[in-house]
Copies of this chain bind each other. A is one copy, B any other.
Amino acid sequence: MVNEASLETFYKIVDQNQDDYVERLREAVAIPSISSIVGHRDDVVRMSHWLTSLFEKLGIKYEARDIGSHVMDNVDLKLPPIILGTYGNDPNKKTILVYGHYDVQPALLEDGWSSKPFDMIETSKGQLIGRGASDDKGPIIGWLNAIEAHQNAEIDFPVNLKICFEGMEENGSEGLEELIANEADKYFKGVDAVCISDNYWLGVTKPCLTYGLRGICAYKVTICGPGKDLHSGVFGGTVHEPMTDLFHLFSKLVAPNGDILITGINDDVAPLTDEENKVYQSLEFSLNELHSAIESKTNIYDNEIETLQHRWRYPSLTIHGIEGAFSSSGFKTVLPAKVIGKFSIRIVPNMDPKRVNELVEKFLKDEFAKLGSKNTLSIECLHSAKAWLSSPHHWNYVAASKAVERIFKCKPDLTREGGSIPVTLTFQDALNKNVLLLPMGRGDDGAHSINEKLDRSNYIQGIKLFGAYLHEIASCKAE
């Protein structure tokens, strides 16, 4: 049973200290820990020190794991450490692993920000605007604030917490997968469930729990013709042009209405069950929100349910671009010699990446053969990740759902997402434990855009939510 009085005290402390929490976030935002820019690597490391200072202050045992170096833009760079933390070690309590990241996306005032991106401001509407406020500094500091609030309130912390904060999430999570695999039976031993706060509410008013993500199979298709780029005037009409072949080939992949045309690709898609279908009926989502997100009315489906189903539970295929062709503004009479088309398929349960690769390869080869071209084709799968689907009936989700009801007085939406968050699957596969995505921010936070923000209410209520979730975890029965 949750100790209601303790929770109420915790909420009160959080409310009382909210300005301090905002200042703490401001301090963190001020460190431009951009992991994808060489010149900011020191800032990422500085951000790790900022965090471990806080760990020390809060009495969280930690290790800042050196995960080696990598080459970026021809520079050999030390990777920022992965911070592993342990708070509590009571064999009578459950152990929850929380993951987040302390690096951020690049941001420049010139990109169109309305204020300096690393100088967090609060608007009159209570929006905390600054790079990383929502992705992912607000959430990771949220966990630490929740710990501190328990200390301030002198309430027993309801679970043992394991912490995994990385500094390379916005740059491919270099080194993370290996560390998780290595530590599954060591540092992460005894973890009962995982909670990741690194995504968003579907809309702007209703909290959600996220229980599924699409996977991805990304491809690079190379068509080689002449040994060098040619002048289109001199050679046009006399040689098989790789661009012509590529346009024919890729036009066969997907219909303008989004249907994937690769033979057999849709056969394994999990059928829509009645239970799943029910989830879609009450979600906080409207086509208006979609229109505002895509800044147009070019949606394929004229209703919310089909739109979300095609975002979350059906595969899609996007052609991203061509490497090797003319891509600048202006005009150039070039006949490109070698072009590399790139596309990816978002895969869903029960599609298997290996099977998808086989189908893609066979289809492209068959279609290319039909073109009768003397050019050559090669296909490479750049990377692939399975879809991820959890059960919202698991105690980890039930606890989170109850916590949402406590803080927001409503049941959370049960959502999935169209993109992938690779660490989700990594944790699930390595630890063989349930993973929950418990977002703090809203759907319009603009994580990778200009004017990234976190609403003060989401931040403060989020801290309460994290605390309440851990209390619910403590009181629920783990089967």
Do A331 and B220 have beta carbons less than 8 Å apart? yes
A39 at the binding interface (Cβ < 8 Å) = no
**Stretch among A15-23, A310-318, A392-400, A426-434 lining the B interface:** A310-318
The 8 A CB mask of A142-179 against B (1 = contact, 0 = none) is 00000000000000000000000000000000000000
Interface residues of A in 413-430 (CB under 8 A from B): 417-420
- A250 interfacial contact with B, CB 8 Å: yes
How far apart sit A383 and B331, CA to CA, in the bound complex (Å)? 10
Do B417 and A234 touch across chains, with their CB atoms under 8 A apart? yes
How many identical chains are in the complex?
Answer: 2
> Which of B218, B253, B256, B334 interacts with A320 by CB under 8 Å?
B334
A50, CB-defined interface residue at 8 Å? no
**Contact A237 to B298, CB < 8 A, known contacts A327-B323, A327-B325:** no
CB nearest neighbor in B for A230: B294
Q: Are B325 and A321 in contact (CB under 8 A)?
A: yes
Q: Which residue of B lies closest to A311 (CB)?
A: B238
| Pair B237/A311 contact, Cβ less than 8 Å | yes
Contacting residue for A301 out of B238, B243, B257, B420, CB 8 A: B238
Expressed in whole angstroms, the Cα–Cα distance for A214 and B226 within the complex equals 22
Q: In this assembly, does A233 line the interface, its C-beta being within 8 Å of a C-beta of chain B?
A: yes
Given A226-B296, A250-B247: A418 touches B322 (CB 8 Å cut-off): no
- A297 within 8 Å of B (CB atoms): yes
Q: Say yes or no: is A73 at the interface (Cβ < 8 Å to chain B).
A: no
If the complex has contacts A247-B247, A326-B321, A327-B327, are A333 and B238 also in contact, measured as CB distance less than 8 A?
Answer: no
Kindly state whether residue A455 has any CB partner on chain B within 8 Å.
Answer: no
Is A328 at the interface (CB under 8 A from chain B)? yes
A103 at interface by CB-CB < 8 Å: no
Chain B residues with Cβ under 8 A from A315's Cβ? 237
**Which residue in chain B gives the minimum CB-CB distance to A248?**
B251
Among B231, B299, B374, contact of A419 (Cβ-Cβ < 8 Å): B231
A244 touches which one: B216, B248, B319, B329 (CB < 8 A)? B319
Closest Cβ–Cβ distance, residue A106 to chain B (whole Å): 14
Chain B CB count within 10 A is highest, among A239, A258, A300, for: A239
A290 interfacial contact with B, CB 8 Å: yes
By the criterion CB–CB under 8 Å, are A374 and B298 in contact? yes
B241 and A247 contact, CB distance less than 8 A = no
Interface residues of A, count at CB 8 A: 83
A471 contacts partner chain B, Cβ-Cβ < 8 Å: no
Contact of A226 among B295, B318, B327 (CB under 8 A): B295
A214 CB contacts on chain B under 8 angstroms: 233
A264 within 8 A of B: no
B310 to A238, Cβ gap below 8 A? Answer: yes
| A335 adjacent to chain B (CB < 8 Å) | yes
Which residues of B sit under 8 angstroms from A418, Cβ to Cβ? 231, 233-238
A463 to B331, CA, bound (A): 36
Among the interface residues A256, A290, A346, which one has the most CB atoms of the partner chain B within 10 A?
A256
A243-B319, A331-B383 are known contacts; what are 9 more A-B pairs with Cβ within 8 Å? A225-B294, A234-B419, A237-B258, A241-B254, A241-B318, A247-B251, A297-B374, A318-B333, A320-B331
**Interface set of A (CB-CB < 8 Å, partner B):** 214, 216, 218, 220, 224-228, 230-241, 243-245, 247-248, 250-251, 253-258, 290, 293-301, 307, 310-311, 314-323, 325-329, 331-336, 342, 344, 346, 371-375, 382-383, 417-420, 448
9 of the cross-chain contacts (CB-CB < 8 Å) are A226-B296, A226-B298, A228-B295, A232-B320, A234-B311, A237-B346, A239-B298, A321-B322, A331-B382
Of all A-B residue pairs in the complex, the 5 with the closest CB atoms, nearest first, are: A227-B295, A233-B419, A237-B316, A321-B326, A321-B325
